[in-house]
Structure 1
Amino acid sequence: MSVIVIGGSGFIGTRLCIRLSQAKIEFEIIDKDPSIFFPGEALKADVRRPLVHNSSSDPSAFINLAAEHRDDVRPLSLYDEVNVDGAKNICNLARAKGVNKIIFTSSVAVYGFAPLGTDESGAIAPFNDYGRTKWEAEQVYKQWQSEYPECRCLVIVRPTVVFGERNRGNVFNLLKQIASGKFVMVGNGSNRKSMAYVENVAAFLEYSLGFKPGVHIYNYIDKPDFTMNALVAYVNKLLGRSAEIKFRLPFSLGLLIGSCFDFVASITGKKFPISAIRVKKFCANSVYESAIESTGFIPPTPLMEAIEKTVRFEFIEDHKGEQVFYSE
């Protein structure tokens, strides 16, 4: 088997390529950024433009991790160019190379502010351009699969927020605030959050290489779902601190502060870690269910162990100067 990992230089892609390497699965990376871990396997290319693959060996599967995903992307047209037009270019390359398997990492953002326990049958109601374009990209891949449904395999994986060592996204920012001792809880902290550990997501993407023709859609969540209060208490315990949350702000005040930062950002053009949408996302429930268990997949790392490994790597051990990945 030979796999092309599109977006393989990023956070999830790097962990996936490490797993493929350990499993002796041949792979190549297509990414607009170089791969620090696998420079010899990387081809620089942008999914916004038609893709060309000139290797003498024909790949048996594409795994697409390339995405425009931050909350503050400008211009907004980048979401469509990368996520939707990129999907079209990948499908065209798959047609040209005779590839019959595509694994696409979408997102639970397609559900928007979803009801508790939303599974793969949940209503599609994205609230931002990221979720909208992920959903539209799914339709592009479904069209590709429908051309030869008996031969082509499409796997759509919708992860919840992904965290882990070396990531500089929203979960890291939360953990960093807790570790600094300056964390302020916005809201009452009773809202629950589904999370996904990067190693487990990568392991499921590798596992799905064995799926048969058809369309396979799965949310990806690692259980259990923590309340914000419980998550903060657990992290404080790992850091040898009291579980007590010292500072709290009402949601309305937190939202006002986020809106003020949005106003300043609109005037100055600067990007800030606080915004109204991030306050809303922080205080919202985001609890999902998944049918992955029916596939026989077993995550290699339990969630509480994954949080401990991340906290230890980032805030207890010394890894200064090592490669990190920036995302939401």
Structure 2
Amino acid sequence: MKIAIVGGSGFVGTKLIHLLKEQAGVSILNLDKRQSNAFPNITILTDVLDKDSLVKHFKGVDVVVLLAAEHRDDVSPTSLYYEVNVKGMSNVLAAMETNQVKQIIFTSSVAVYGLNKPNPNESAPVAPFNHYGKSKLLAERELEQWFKQDADRSIYVIRPTVIFGEGNRGNVYNLLNQIASGRFMMIGKGNNAKSMSYVENIVAFIAYLIAEGKPGYEVFNYVDKPDLTTNDIVQHTSRIIGRPVPTMHIPYWFGILAGYGFDMLAFFSRRKLNISSVRVKKFCAVTQYDSSKMLASGFQPPYRMEEGLQRMLEKEFLIKS
């Protein structure tokens, strides 16, 4: 089996390649605009916006895993979300069709549901609140239309929650770093549920779906249970690092006001800052999602949520177990 991973030089892609290379009878091609530090020998520098290059390199491919995306909160101009996430999908599908590749796994996002939704499952209404979520939803629509042209195609859409793990420098890392360093201050009450996904479990699920490869169109939320509140995350971190964590709370209204202040500072300074109104809203929002369908699929996550947090803390902050 030949697997093309589009966008495999990043955090999730690198973990996925490590896992797939352990499997017999699998060859892997990484197509990315950035060189892979871990796997330079199987990486071809290209871009999802270069359809001709995708057509060329999809020759002989059996499965495509599409990870490439614009996903940061502060991408500018916002048209990049749609160029990369939607036009990129269109180019990938055109290249697959030219080469008669029938199986694709696409990492979308729970951002398609919007914020503060009551534990949505895969059939819940979609109402993305930002350009990232809107562009991911439009990319899914491209996939739906492509499937309608040939029901023998195998399409799996994974909508993961925020992904964390060793080597990641995203929002969860920033939160754990603040907690571990003693600089953390809670915004709001902290009892909002936060569904999360451990990277080693996500890539194991992708590998599981590659092996399944059944014709059809399937959508899965991916969540590692149990859901933790922000207070739970603070308490787990405190227990793992073995020292108390400050419990000072800042009212939400003050936090969001400060976020708007940082928005203005970022605008006038033309700099990307770690604090913004969008990140305050996301931090305080309930981001809880149903994963019953994934759990009923037969897949068994190799790690529990608490194990994932402990592994990340031990690796990133040099904490002895």
Q: Which interval holds the TM-score relative to the shorter structure? A: over 0.9
Q: Is the 8 A contact 2:48 2:54 kept in 1?
A: no
Identify if the C-alpha distance between structure 1 residues 297 and 266 changes in structure 2 by more than 3 Å, giving closer, same or farther: same
Which residue pairs with 1:215 in the alignment? 217
What is the correspondence of 1:237-248 to structure 2 with a 5 Å cutoff?
A: 237-242=239-244, 245-248=246-249
Which residue pairs with 1:120 in the alignment? 122
Q: Which residue identity is paired with 2:238?
A: N
Which residue pairs with 2:234 in the alignment? 232
Q: Percent identity?
A: 43
Deviations 1:211-270 (A, max 9, x none): 31000100000000111111101101111112x543210000001111100011111111
What is the correspondence of 1:112-261 to structure 2 with a 5 Å cutoff?
A: 112-149=114-151, 151-209=152-210, 210-242=212-244, 245-261=246-262
Find out whether 1:14 has 2:11 as its counterpart. Answer: no
Q: Which residue identity is paired with 2:165?
A: G
Q: Is the 8 A contact 1:145 1:152 kept in 2?
A: yes
Identify if the C-alpha distance between structure 1 residues 245 and 229 changes in structure 2 by more than 3 Å, giving closer, same or farther: farther
Q: Is the 8 A contact 1:233 1:245 kept in 2?
A: no
Kindly state the Cα deviation for residue 8 of structure 1 after the two structures are TM-superposed.
Answer: 0.6
Q: Is the 8 A contact 1:29 1:43 kept in 2?
A: yes
Find the aligned partners of 2:98 and 2:59 in 1 and give their Cα distance.
Answer: 13
Q: Which residue identity is paired with 1:189?
A: G
Find the aligned partners of 1:66 and 1:55 in 2 and give their Cα distance.
Answer: 16
Find the aligned partners of 1:82 and 1:170 in 2 and give their Cα distance.
Answer: 22
What is the correspondence of 1:291-306 to structure 2 with a 5 Å cutoff?
A: 291-306=293-308
* Structure 1 unaligned residues grouped into runs of 5+: 319-328
Kindly state the Cα deviation for residue 53 of structure 1 after the two structures are TM-superposed.
Answer: 4.7
Q: Where has structure 1 moved over 3 Å in runs of 4 or more? A: 51-57
Deviations 1:147-187 (A, max 9, x none): 111x2011000000000000000000000000110100000
Find the aligned partners of 1:85 and 1:57 in 2 and give their Cα distance.
Answer: 21
What RMSD in Å do the two structures reach over aligned CA positions?
Answer: 1.4
Which residue pairs with 1:75 in the alignment? 77
What is the correspondence of 1:41-52 to structure 2 with a 5 Å cutoff?
A: 41-50=42-51, 51-52=53-54
* Structure 2 unaligned residues grouped into runs of 5+: none
Q: Which residue identity is paired with 2:102?
A: N
Aligned residues: 316
Question: What TM-score, normalized by structure 1, do the two folds share?
Answer: 0.94
Q: 2:90 aligns with which of 88, 93, 101?
A: 88
Find out whether 1:5 has 2:5 as its counterpart. Answer: yes
Find the aligned partners of 2:84 and 2:174 in 1 and give their Cα distance.
Answer: 25
